[in-house]
Structure 1
Amino acid sequence: MSKIRIGIIGCGRIAQRHAEHISNKGELVAVCDTVPSRADELAAKYQAKAFYNVTDMLSQAGEMDVVAVCSPNGLHATHSIMALREGFHVICEKPMALSAKECGEMIQAAEQSNKRLFAIKQNRFNPPVAAVKQMLTEGKLGKIYSVQLSCFWNRNPDYYANSWKGTKDLDGGTLYTQFSHFVDLLYWLIGDVSEAKAYTGNFNHKGIIEFEDTGAVILKFTNGAIGTINYTVNSYRKNMEGSLTIFGEKGTVKIGGQYLNELEYQQIEDYVIENLPEGNKPNNYGNYVGSMSNHDKVYDNLVEVLKNGASITTSSFEGLKTVEIIEKIYKAAEFVD
C-alpha cells in the first residue's frame, strides 16, 4: 500500500480539519455532502471528487481505502455501517454514535467485513493527559479516591443557528457534542462507571436547543472511586475551563486550561511531572474554540495500523464505552425546568 486514499462524508467544520491532515498523511480522493456547495468547495481545494449522496460516493469514488465519517452525530452509525459493508475501513468522529446499541452494530459490521473501525479520542494525546495516564499506569497516585471533571464552555445562539446542532435526533445532547472527549478521559484514566445520578436543565437556550445546556452529575466507578461532572455551555461570552482533578492516596493532580491543555497542579509522593512538550492549539471555529487539535496524531496512528499492523490507539470498544456512560447519565438525569 502506497499513499492511503481517504474519502470524507460530511463537509462541515470538523471535515476541514480532517482534510488538512489527510492531505498531509495520505490522499483525499472523495468528499460528500448533501449541500453541493460544501462538497464542491472542499473537493476543489484538495483536487478530490465531489459527491452529493453517500451511496454514490461509496460506489463511484474508485480507488479508496478509508472513509472518514464527519456527518452529524445521529448519522454516524448509518454512514459507518454503509462504508464498512462496502469494504472500506472507517474512522468516525465523536461521538461514535448516539446509543450503545448503534455502536455495537458498527463494531459487528466491522468484524463481518474484516475492516478496521477507528474511534476519534484526540484529547488522549494532550501532553498533560498523556503524562497523567502514564503516572496512573505506574500506580504513582496509589488508590484513586475521587475525581472532579469541570466543563465550562460557551455556545451562543449563533453556534446552533441553521444547523443540526441542538436537535435531539442529530445532535443528541450537550454531553455528546461538546463533552464526549472529556467523558472518554474519565473512562480512560479512572475506569468504567457503575452508577450515575444527575440533574440537568436548559437555562439559557430555550427555543434554541432541544435538550440541556447544563448538568450536575455524580458517578460511582467500578473500582470504588466516586466522581462528579459539572458542565455547562453558559459560560459568559467565552469558554472558561475544561479541567480534571484526581485525588488519590499518594497525590493530587489537576489538568486544566480551557480544554485540558495545562498541568495546573500536582502534589505527588516522590514524583514530579516535568518537561511536558507544548501541545497543539485548539480547533478554532471563529467565535469559539473546541478541544485540542490532535487529529494529526489520530491519522498518524491510522497510517501505522493500516501500513504496519500497529495497534489502534482508541478501539471502537472504547468509543462504545464513552457512549454507554453518557447514556447512563442521561437515563438517570432529572430535568429541572
Structure 2
Amino acid sequence: MKKFALIGAAGYVAPRHMKAIKETGNILTAALDPNDSVGIIDSYFPDTNFFTEFERFDRHVDKQRRKGETIDYVSICSPNYLHDAHIRFALRNNAHAICEKPLVLNPWNIDALEEIEAEMSSKVYNILQLRLHPALIELKDQVQNIQHPDTKHEIDLTYITSRGNWYFTSWKGDSSKSGGIASNIGIHFFDMLIWIFGKIQMNVVHLLEHDKSAGYLELENARVRWFLSIDETTLPPDIQAAGQRTYRSITVDGKEIEFSGGFTDLHTLSYQDILDGNGFGLAHARPSIETVYTIRNARPDLNMGEQHPFIQK
C-alpha cells in the first residue's frame, strides 16, 4: 500500500484522483487546499490529514519523512500555474509527482524539471488519460497499420464547453495562470493528436481571443483544423435548441470518432499504469506543452493554413 498526498483537494478533478488512489489499493494520508469545501474526502479517505495552509502541509509531510513514514506519491490538482512549484515540492520530499494537465505552462519549465528529476530518485508523471481510451488506441493502431505511411488524414476538431462569468473571475480566466483556452481546455486533445498522428510540422493560429481560439496544425500524418471555445454563442444552433452547453466533435476523413463513453475509469487506469512502472513522463508531456505555448504567443494569420468551418461564422 503506497502513501499519497494530494494538492488541490477542492478542485473539480480531485475526486477522480481520490477514487483512483482508493481503487488501486492505496491510501491518501494528507491533502491540501486553501478552500475547505472538501467533504468529498469522506467518501474515500475520512482519516486524511487536511490542511488549508501550505506551510502546515509542508511541515506535516517533512515530519512524516523524518519519522520514516515517507509519502510515496504527491497528486497535483492545483491551478495550472502552480504545477511547477508543486512538482518540485514532491521531488524535494523524495516522492513521485502525478500531475494533471497541463503539466506546466512553458517548455523551459520542463527543462528545469528534467534537471531536478535527474538528481532525484523520484519521477514526474502527467495524467494523459486519452492515451488509455480504447477507441483512441484503436484509432492509433489503424493509423500505424495504414499501407501508405505518408498519408495525411483530414481532421476537424471542435470543442465548445460553455462557461459563465465566474470563469473570468477565477484563475482560469487569467491566461498568465491558466495558459489560456488552448492550455486549459485543449491540451489533452493536442496531446492525443500528436500521439496518434505524429510530430507537428506547421502550427498556425487563425483566432486568439480570451474565450475562443482556432487554428491549423499540420502533423506528420494529418491536417488538423481546430476550434476551441467557452462562448455558448458559438454552439451549433441544434445544440443550443436542445438546451445543451457542450459540443465535442472530432472527425477523421469525414468520419466521426466516438469516444464520449469510457471515461469513467481512465484516471484509475492511469494510476495503475504508473504503479506498474509505466506512465507518461516529462518527455511525453513536452510536445503538447510546446504546441500550446506557440499558440498562446502567436499572431493570428488568416492567410496561412486551412481554416476551421466555424471561423467562417
Q: TM bucket by the smaller chain?
A: 0.7 to 0.9
- In the TM superposition, 1:98-247 aligns within 5 A as 98-139=105-146, 142-157=149-164, 160=167, 163-202=170-209, 211=210, 213-221=211-219, 223=220, 225-234=222-231, 235=235, 236=240, 237-245=244-252, 247=253
Give the secondary-structure state (helix, strand or coil) at the position aligned to 1:165: helix
Question: Would you say 1:71 and 2:78 are equivalent positions?
Answer: yes
Tell me how far apart the structure 1 counterparts of residues 96 and 195 of structure 2 sit (CA, whole Å). Answer: 24
Pair 1:301 & 2:308 matched: no
Alignment partner, residue 24 of structure 1: 23
State whether residues 9 and 54 of structure 1, in contact with CA within 8 Å, keep that contact through their aligned partners in structure 2.
no
> In the TM superposition, what whole-angstrom CA distance separates every residue of 1:159-188 from its partner, at most 9, and x where no partner exists?
516522211222111111111110001110
- Structure richer in strand, relative to its length: 1
CA distance change for structure 1 residues 316 and 96 in 2, over 3 Å: closer, same or farther?
Answer: same
Aligned-partner Cα distance in 2 for 1:175–1:244: 19
5+ residue gaps in structure 2?
A: 303-313
Number of positions where the alignment pairs a residue of Structure 1 with one of Structure 2: 281
Per the alignment, residue 50 of structure 2 pairs with 50
Note if 1:279 corresponds to 2:278: no
User: Contact between 1:31 and 1:42, CA under 8 Å: does it hold in 2?
Assistant: no
TM-score relative to the length of structure 2? 0.81
Deviation at 1:155, TM superposition (A): 2.1
Per the alignment, in what secondary structure is the counterpart of residue 332 of structure 1? coil
Task: In structure 1, list runs of 5 or more residues that go unmatched.
Answer: 203-210, 262-277, 282-292, 306-310
Percent identity of the aligned residues?
Answer: 21
Match of 1:330 among 296, 302, 305: 296
Query: What TM-score does the superposition give when structure 1 sets the normalisation length?
Result: 0.76
SS at match of 2:13: helix
Deviation, 1:88, is 0.9
Instruction: Give yes or no for contact 1:151–1:179 (8 Å, CA) kept in 2.
Output: no
Matched residue, 2:37: 38
> Aligned-residue CA RMSD in angstroms?
2.4
Alpha-carbon shift at residue 232 of structure 1 (Å): 2.0
After superposition, the Cα gap between the structure-2 partners of 1:230 and 1:140, relative to the gap in structure 1 and judged at 3 Å, is farther
Q: 1:114 to 1:149 in 2, by over 3 A?
A: farther
**Equivalent pair of 1:54/1:79 in contact (CA under 8 Å):** no
> Which residue in the other structure is 2:4 paired with?
6
CA distance in 2, matches of 1:54, 1:334: 40
Is the alpha carbon distance of 1:321 and 1:201 closer, same or farther for their aligned partners in structure 2, counting shifts above 3 Å? closer
Partners of 2:267 and 2:148 in 1: how far apart? 30
Q: 1:173 to 1:24 in 2, by over 3 A?
A: same
Q: Secondary structure at the match of 2:274?
A: helix
Determine helix, strand or coil for the equivalent of 1:148.
Answer: strand
Q: Verify the 8 A CA contact 2:150 2:221 in the aligned structure 1.
A: no
Q: Note if 1:315 corresponds to 2:281.
A: yes
CA contact (8 A) 1:10 1:70 kept: yes
Q: State the alpha-carbon separation in 2 of the partners of residues 154 and 173 from structure 1.
A: 14
Relative to structure 1, the CA distance from residue 333 to residue 127 in structure 2 (aligned partners, 3 Å threshold; closer, same or farther) is farther
Specify whether residues 6 and 164 from structure 1 end up closer, same or farther in structure 2 by C-alpha distance, changes over 3 A only: same
- Report the alpha carbon displacement of residue 101 of structure 1 after superposing the two structures with TM: 0.9
Once residues 224 and 7 of structure 1 are traced to their aligned partners in structure 2, the CA distance between those partners, rounded to angstroms, is 40
Matching residue's letter, 2:289 = V
